[in-house]
Structure 1
Amino acid sequence: MRHDLKRGAMLLASAMLFTAMVNGLQKVTGPRLPVLEIIFFRNLFSLPFVMMIAARTKMTLKTRHFGGHLMRSVVGLASMVMVVVTVTRLPLAEQQVLSYTQPLFLVLLSIPLLHERPSRHRWIAVFLGFCGVVVVAMGRDVPKVGVVGAVAGWAYLVALAQGAVGALTTMQIRQLSATESSTTIALWQAILMTIATAMPLPFIWTTPQMGDALCLVAVGAFAGIAQVLQTEAFASAQVSAIGPFAYSGLLWAALIGWLGFGEIPGLAMLAGGLLIVGSGVWMLRHDRPQRPAPALPSTPVEGTPS
């Protein structure tokens, strides 16, 4: 594999920008449209971009593990629902920084599910990351009592849980990658998620206004573009080298939140975000795999347009 650090970093940072724009548009449409309707259009309009990626390699839907693809899609769909719910109720930058807890949960889940023994560096990173979560939680600028405070606290817990669900999704992809190609995984994910979200539409359908309809098209297109850019980024350079640039998503989320919604991150959010991001970078730099891992299909960073 070629290693072009500059190209990979620019592509990954650009992917994070489009992912942040997806979350911003979901925040716009979230108060007026059902969550599953938004996710349906996201998957539907991103499907052509997934097909574009798959067309560059051997495109096949043949699989020996349909159950694994089905379960991966169910968990991935749950993650997408959590993202839409939380970006609608929390500042974009706060939701984004909480999504960065995914690597921390990945370490914890690897113990019972993969029987791994995390290194000392990983445990230090987990400790620092969850210290950051506590700092962000203590500094939330929301009422501490009453209905508004309860809703904000509930959304905060959902955002944190989304990090755990995202980690579970990553583990499922790793397991499928042992026997399935990345394009097969990506294709089944896109197809199954589109079908799953189409089924309840007759019961929840809300006709979007013209502005919302354009936002829904853009949500899917931007999610697809982010996936293409992320795929190109990891094809251009080693993950351990460009991985830290994924955290540029926090900058884009803060900028969109400020310009589009008047959201100004507080000092506690910035300090906690620094700890969470720092823990992720720590793991990337101090605990690199000893042998190449199976190629993973590119998915949006919910925390990833999860």
Structure 2
Amino acid sequence: MTAAPAMPAARPLRGVALVVLAVLAFALADVLTKLQAERHPVTVVIAVRYLVNLALLVVLLAPRQGRALWRTDRTLLVMLRALCLAFASLTMGIALTLMPVAETVAIIYLSPFLVMLLAIPLLGERVPLAGWLGAAAGFAGVLLIVRPGGGLAPWGVVMALVNTLFATAYHLMTRQLSRTETVQAMLFHVALVGTVVFCVLALPDLPGLVLPPGDLAMMAALGALATTGHFLFTSAYREAPASLLAPVNYLHLVWAAGLGWLVFGHVPDAVTLVGIVLVAGAGVAVAIRTARAS
């Protein structure tokens, strides 16, 4: 067994900044996923994303990392984490074909609330009162966004809710594995597992499929954004505890709402906007207060 990498000193503000940038990359990826999944099979879109992701990691990191790029101590758990993200990608892609970006992202952001709740018994972390208040406010905001009568597609809502389960498991395993595994190795296995899973799932959709160069370029950009986002996100969990970073993820809603308006012309109604402001404001306030206390 290789020696576990030393955990760096906690730098909560750095961790928060990394998550802010990561969720921006994810929001851009959500928009590209919706654009392409409405024109091509979801499995094909995500397969290209993971292929580009894997290729970038091999080209950029393999010459310097060598075998360290794929060497792990807890390989089974690393692979399980990657599989969770693969299925999260699939359910997210399906949900985005059926619902607007902002509303889809709002539902999946039930996951940070679950992460904060489960980080106590599973990771032994403590959540301050401000964290609980912020999580409650964020959850209330999500309920405003996905309130009954909002006109969301039922199957899309189901897929987004299933996504929250996979995402919660992924987040918790990221924090746990960051104590023994390198960021590069976790990224590599995410890309490898995702590539294998979606290349197999995409096989039935390949006969007769024609991808215009512009669409193929957008799918490649999707892969680059995903690679960047997951690198930043995984790095953040080496800088700060899950209970601090979970509320910051709510900023994804802000990026998603803004990009959904710019690209698709979708303007959330007044109640939805109140919900978005509530979850974003609560997340930022808790992150800053907790970071200062640290």
Deviation at 1:275, TM superposition (A): 2.3
Using a 3 Å threshold, how does the CA distance of structure 1 residues 55 and 208 change in structure 2: closer, same or farther? same
Deviation at 1:33, TM superposition (A): 2.6
Using a 3 Å threshold, how does the CA distance of structure 1 residues 54 and 159 change in structure 2: closer, same or farther? farther
Using a 3 Å threshold, how does the CA distance of structure 1 residues 227 and 197 change in structure 2: closer, same or farther? same
SS of 2:73's partner is coil
Question: Contact 1:54–1:187 at 8 Å: present in 2 too?
Answer: no
Aligned to 1:182: 183
Aligned to 1:208: 210
Counting aligned pairs with the same residue, the percent is 28
Q: How does 1:1-306 map to 2 (within 5 A)?
A: 9=17, 15-51=22-58, 52=60, 59-114=68-123, 118-138=127-147, 141-142=150-151, 152-205=153-206, 207-210=209-212, 211-227=214-230, 248-287=251-290
Deviations 1:70-115 (A, max 9, x none): 2111111111112211222221122233333332110222355446
Aligned to 1:302: none
Aligned to 1:295: none
SS of 1:138's partner is coil
Q: State the AA in 2 paired with 1:29.
A: Q
Question: Contact 1:49–1:228 at 8 Å: present in 2 too?
Answer: no
Q: State the AA in 1 paired with 2:259.
A: I
Q: State the AA in 2 paired with 1:215.
A: M
Deviation at 1:216, TM superposition (A): 1.8
**Mapped partners of 1:155, 1:270: distance in 2:** 20
Equivalenced residues, count: 281
Deviations 1:181-230 (A, max 9, x none): 22111111111211122223322325133043233222212323444566
Using a 3 Å threshold, how does the CA distance of structure 1 residues 16 and 72 change in structure 2: closer, same or farther? closer
Deviation at 1:243, TM superposition (A): 8.8
Using a 3 Å threshold, how does the CA distance of structure 1 residues 55 and 250 change in structure 2: closer, same or farther? farther
Using a 3 Å threshold, how does the CA distance of structure 1 residues 166 and 283 change in structure 2: closer, same or farther? farther
Question: What is the TM-score normalised by the length of structure 1?
Answer: 0.74
Question: Contact 1:39–1:80 at 8 Å: present in 2 too?
Answer: yes
Using a 3 Å threshold, how does the CA distance of structure 1 residues 241 and 175 change in structure 2: closer, same or farther? closer
SS of 2:69's partner is coil
Deviation at 1:13, TM superposition (A): 5.4
Q: State the AA in 2 paired with 1:130.
A: F
**Mapped partners of 1:259, 1:71: distance in 2:** 36
**Mapped partners of 2:64, 2:19: distance in 1:** 19
Q: State the AA in 1 paired with 2:275.
A: G
In the alignment, structure 1 segments of 5+ residues that lack a partner are: 143-148, 292-306
**Mapped partners of 1:119, 1:177: distance in 2:** 22
SS of 1:33's partner is coil
RMSD between superposed Cα atoms in Å: 3.8
Question: Contact 1:50–1:228 at 8 Å: present in 2 too?
Answer: no
SS of 2:258's partner is helix
Question: What is the TM-score normalised by the length of structure 2?
Answer: 0.77
Question: Contact 2:101–2:256 at 8 Å: present in 1 too?
Answer: yes
**Which one is further off, 243-252 or 131-140?**
243-252
Deviation at 1:120, TM superposition (A): 3.0
Using a 3 Å threshold, how does the CA distance of structure 1 residues 154 and 18 change in structure 2: closer, same or farther? same
